[in-house]
Amino acid sequence: MNPQEEHPTVSIFREFLQIRTDHPTPDYESSTKFLVKKAEEYGIQYEVYRETGLPIVIMKIEGEDQTLKSVLLNSHVDVVPAVTESWKVNPFAATKDEKGDIYARGTQDMKCVCIQFLEVAHRIAKSGKKLKRNLYLTFVPDEEIGGTGKGMEIFVYTEKFKQLNVGLCLDEGLASPTEDFTVFYGERAPWWVHITAVGNAGHGSRFIEGTAVEKLMRTVNKMLAFRQEQSEKLHKCDHECGKKLGDVTSLNLTVLKAGIPQDHSNNYSYNVVPTQAEAGFDIRIPPTVNLEEFLQQLKDWTAEEGLSFKFASYIDKNEMTKLDSDNKWWENFKASAKALDINLVTEIFPAATDSRFIRNLGIPAFGFSPINNTPILLHDHNEFLNEKVFIRGIDIFMGIIPNLVNME
Ligand SMILES: CSCC[C@H](NC(C)=O)C(=O)O
Ligand SMILES: [Zn+2]
Ligand SMILES: [Zn+2]
């Protein structure tokens, strides 16, 4: 290839980035059409599964032994919205600068991995050599809005998923700003809690007792005190004991509502004590925390009369993938990394991915995006990935995935 020419897989990546799969109205029909066309071109078996209500593209490279558990490469095709005014380029144009940095929403999260997985399948199919196990690729919708409803949460309970007979799943990780690569073996449980307080009304000039806001504030303050404890645990300990964000419980007050609107012009009735006040928290709980005990903690925080809560996101089970010598997949993965001379760092993913639905079925899953020496820019403005890092990622996957699929 002429050094001036763009690597063909980079061109495919840039084309895929231009497909508008951003929320709130992801164009899944176009991404499906794109992937199907590639599968046809590469001679890879595929089907478009629509039973969950949105298209899931499933590709298969048949292995020698159908009785063995398969390897699943799962990626989501949707991306979060981009605030165009805050970007230095159009976030859906996949502009490449003189350094080879490609700017677009989804460069890191996770259209890079979609195309890397596709290229790995392409190379395996092209080689004509059969691997031991079945290799599947799934391209799923709606991960960015939780994977619930029509996404992975539903798909993993279908007969179709069962038929895939998955033994190991690879899914997204995060970019690493250093030379090392990060592998995620679990993630924190995302609990989104909406607390409502009701209390007494009255004139704003009086000392009204038992107001909704007062009750809510007491709870909010208890929860923020817990937040402070956890933050100190992370920050005070950072250098001494190497705690990472994924090892502590984070809690953010992300919704706060009270007050009686007066009209439609942002005015409030400042002299009316409102009877209702609400707070929403984004809580992320490490898999080492007992979720039943944490639920009890939440009940204790909201025990005062007039307070209630409901979940906007909740899981009562949060399995990790064990990284011990009994996990042959992990041993195999590590051996490949060693042969590639890359250094792996293992962590708990601080946010949520579709892997949680896989791990909760008891299936091991690794979150791994082969991106190093790159700032973590998922969901951020000016998200980018360098083309060389992207291409090296395919070689890294080629050094890992066939070994996993060939595992005895
Ligand atoms: C409750 S599911 C939400 C999923 C989203 N995932 C990422 C990677 O940002 C999150 O963690 O907020
Ligand atoms: Zn993602
Ligand atoms: Zn994301």
* Domain layout of the chain by residue ranges: 8-187+320-405, 189-313
Does the structure show a pLDDT above 90 at 208?
Answer: yes
Is 293 assigned a ligand-binding role in the annotation?
A: no
Q: Are 186 and 320 in contact (CB under 8 A)?
A: yes
How far lies 126's CA from each of 36, 40, 281, 383, 407, in Å? 17, 13, 49, 32, 20
Does the structure show a pLDDT above 80 at 113?
Answer: yes
Which residue from 32, 34, 27, 55 is spatially nearest to 155, judged by alpha carbons? 55
**Torsion angle in degrees (nearest 10) through CA of 70, 145, 114, 338:** -70
Average of per-residue pLDDT across 267-286: 97
Q: Answer whether 202 contacts ligand 1 (Cβ < 6 A).
A: no
Q: Answer whether 146 contacts ligand 1 (Cβ < 6 A).
A: yes
Q: What is the pLDDT of residue 264?
A: 77
Q: Which residues surround ligand 2, an ion (CB under 5 A)?
A: 109-110, 172
Query: What global pTM score does this model have?
Result: 0.93
Is 144 assigned a ligand-binding role in the annotation?
A: yes
Summarised one tens digit per residue, pLDDT across range 231-263 is 999 988 655 577 899 999 999 999 999 999 987
Q: What is the pLDDT of residue 240?
A: 56
Q: How confident is the model at residue 1 (pLDDT cuts 50, 70, 90)?
A: low
Q: How confident is the model at residue 97 (pLDDT cuts 50, 70, 90)?
A: very high
Does the structure show a pLDDT above 60 at 87?
Answer: yes
Q: From the CA of 123, how far away is ligand 2's center (Å)? A: 24
User: 8-187+320-405 maps to which CATH number?
Assistant: 3.40.630.10
Beta bridge partners of 191: 283
Two structure tokens written together for 292: 């039943």
- Side-chain-side CA neighbours of 87 within 13 Å: the count stands at 22
Cis peptide, bond prior to residue 398, ω within 30 of zero: no
Summarised one tens digit per residue, pLDDT across range 301-320 is 999 999 999 999 999 999 99
How far lies 334's CA from each of 176, 187, 203, 283, 366, in Å? 17, 20, 67, 32, 12
Q: Answer whether 313 contacts ligand 1 (Cβ < 6 A).
A: yes
What CATH topology corresponds to 189-313?
Answer: Alpha-Beta Plaits (3.30.70)
What is the DSSP track for 146-162?
TS-SSSHHHHTTSHHHH
Task: Give start and end residues of each alpha helix (H) in 242-354.
Answer: 291-301, 328-340
